[in-house]
Chain A
Amino acid sequence: MEKKKSKVKVKYAKSGPLLLIAAPGILYLLINNYIPMFGIFLAFKNFSYKKGIFGSEWSGFDNFQFLFRTKDALIMTRNTILYNLAFIILGIVFAIFIAILLNALGDSLRTKFYQSAMLLPNLMSWVVIAYMVYAFLNADSGFINNSVIKAFGGKSVAWYMESKFWPFILTFVYLWKNMGYQSIIYLASIAGIDKSIYEAASLDGATKVQQIFRVTLPMLKPTVIIMTLMAVGRIFFSDFGLFYQVPMNSGALYSVTQTIDTYVYRGLMELNDVGMSAAAGLFQSVLGFIVVVSANALVRKVDSDNALF
């Protein structure tokens, strides 16, 4: 194969017309993605709107020093990582569980209905989801306070003021929105498993539950590893909508809802601390880059076919 390649030289097509077709996309990526990459120097400036991007004075590592001197840096990094870990682990468990259930029901109307229902939350915007959460949790007329807690004779809870509940609420909301979506991938993997393995297992007397633990789960291992490493590659990034919109930007909850992404937004748009916000953003981009490259190196070791690059 390789010999052939070196002997027969590839006859290239004319590049001009093909580059022309790619041009709009290239131009957009240059503007939207590449120019901001060079803009990371803003993290090393004492930015003021009056002096502009290039006129503002250089400040070296001052922004980073200020950032890491505050408690915020630790809190937002801790929150981002811990939430992501919880999402990754619980996400896998639930997604596989749902995929196994749907697979067991086969190609039926019931399966289709279940899948449609569980996928629907994924299509909703965070704004609308925040409305739904609000319908359940708002202190005066929320469903939980009025119908559930009252029925058991409990006391109303000011949900948007009590930070101790929010790690659970946010995890629940995340799972609610994403489970159906993630289960699609595992369902496709399960559908790809050779049926004769199950037949052999059942001839050997394996029960359905044993088949799940001895056949399905081991066969899903590669998918699980890939999905996990891809998620780990984004461990420094959080879903802005989940952490900003769903808690209704409530200040009382910042200790458990502040992630790097919400911090960057608040620094830039609410506190007008552009330098600090840029520093936090660069911190995130650089760590994110390191993690995604390492995760990929790991994938390549495990299973080179599935490595991203």
Chain B
Amino acid sequence: MANIQTSASAREMGDTKKFKLFATIVGGLFSLIALIPIILIVIASFTDEKTLLANGYSFFPQKWSIDAYTYMAQQWSTIGRAYMISTVVTLIGTVVSVLITTMIAYPMSRKNFRYRNILSFFVFFTMLFNGGVVPSYMMWTQIFNIKNTIWALILPNYLCGAFNIFLVRNYYTGSIPDALIESAQIDGASELTIFFKIILPLAIPTVATISLFTALVYWNDWVNALYYIQKPQYYGIQNLLIRIMNNIQYLKSGAASVAVGTGSVDLPGTAVRMSMAVIGILPIVIIYPFVQKYFVKGVVVGAVKG
């Protein structure tokens, strides 16, 4: 009996080792596939423009260059502006979104709130049915007149959504005891005080999660501007990238009007585009290691039940 068990566990150990090796290799391969396109555009952004045009994109360029980045530094008025807009929109959008999301979720978590179920259904129904793009576009442009304003980048679609509301609601009901609220009420605290002084501080982990989700949505959004912005001065970094991909001439004409006669005939084209994509993802890559755990947590919790 003892013999059988030891041989079984020995086999089990060999088995586990083999499977771990397999997982290491295949997992490594998948990770490589995930990273390679990102690596390629980073390398392309550091490739000499002529080399790029002659040999194409390559992981091992013959000639490296930082021209694209120096060029971008010279053109910072255009790129910096877009960067600024993306930053401001992301900040405002995220702060406002987190505030109204955590607020509407609070009454939904209170068992003794009379309209709790009605409110929950009101929020939930937005997940089941939507009016579609055309009515929404007509409302924002014909009634609220947000076309070509900064509001067009913040207001439509992303400010407060059912998914995040339920995420926060579930966090409240799961980790904030009713007794805490009751005792605060006995002490004479108003609902607003309870929310801002007790509930919100306790909900920091979920606030971190939805802040992250929302900030990513705003930073990566290009759809709102596609619909509502025609003036390039309101473009954030994503829409500047689209515009440049459509027409590299844009930067060149900008350069022509700013610095006439500098003799810069061979403007870096492709490498510049790639370097701009790189600075577009730079903030994400920088904060990613610090926020990954909130992201993973949010995905797991969100998937469990909406």
Which A positions have Cβ atoms within 8 angstroms of B?
10-15, 17-22, 24-26, 28-29, 31-40, 42-43, 52-53, 98, 100-102, 104-105, 110, 113-121, 123-136, 140-143, 145-147, 176, 179-181, 184-185, 188, 202-203, 205, 207-209, 227, 240-241, 245, 248, 261, 264-265, 268-269, 274, 277-278, 281-282, 284-285, 288-289, 292-293, 306, 308-309
Judge whether A132 and B37 touch: CB under 8 Å. yes
Judge whether B53 and A124 touch: CB under 8 Å. no
Q: What string of 1s and 0s marks CB contacts (under 8 Å) between B1-41 and chain A? A: 00001001100100110111011101110111111011011
Distance between Cα atoms of A39 and B124 in the complex (Å): 19
Task: Please give, as numbers and ranges, the residues of chain B lying within 8 Å of A39 by CB-CB distance.
Answer: 131, 134-136, 138-139
Additional A-B contact list (12), CB under 8 Å, known A26-B122, A143-B40, A281-B131: A18-B113, A25-B104, A29-B126, A39-B131, A39-B138, A40-B131, A101-B26, A105-B20, A132-B41, A179-B34, A185-B300, A208-B18
Within 8 A of A (CB), among B254-306: 270, 273-274, 277, 280-281, 284-285, 288-289, 292, 295-296, 299-300, 303, 305-306
Which B positions have Cβ atoms within 8 angstroms of A?
5, 8-9, 12, 15-16, 18-20, 22-24, 26-28, 30-35, 37-38, 40-41, 44, 52-53, 55-59, 99-101, 103-108, 110-115, 119, 122-124, 126-139, 142-143, 155-157, 159-160, 165, 190-192, 195, 216, 219-223, 226-227, 238-239, 241-242, 245, 270, 273-274, 277, 280-281, 284-285, 288-289, 292, 295-296, 299-300, 303, 305-306
Task: Please give, as numbers and ranges, the residues of chain B lying within 8 Å of A21 by CB-CB distance.
Answer: 103-104, 106-107, 191-192, 195
Please pick, from B38, B113, B296, the residue contacting A15 in the complex, using a CB distance under 8 A: B113
Judge whether B113 and A147 touch: CB under 8 Å. no
| Chain A binding surface SS class | helix
Task: Please give, as numbers and ranges, the residues of chain B lying within 8 Å of A120 by CB-CB distance.
Answer: 34-35, 38, 285, 288
Contact A265-B58, Cβ < 8 Å, known A24-B103, A114-B28, A121-B34: no
Contact A248-B107, Cβ < 8 Å, known A127-B222, A141-B57, A205-B8: no
Judge whether B142 and A126 touch: CB under 8 Å. no
Task: Please give, as numbers and ranges, the residues of chain B lying within 8 Å of A116 by CB-CB distance.
Answer: 288-289, 292
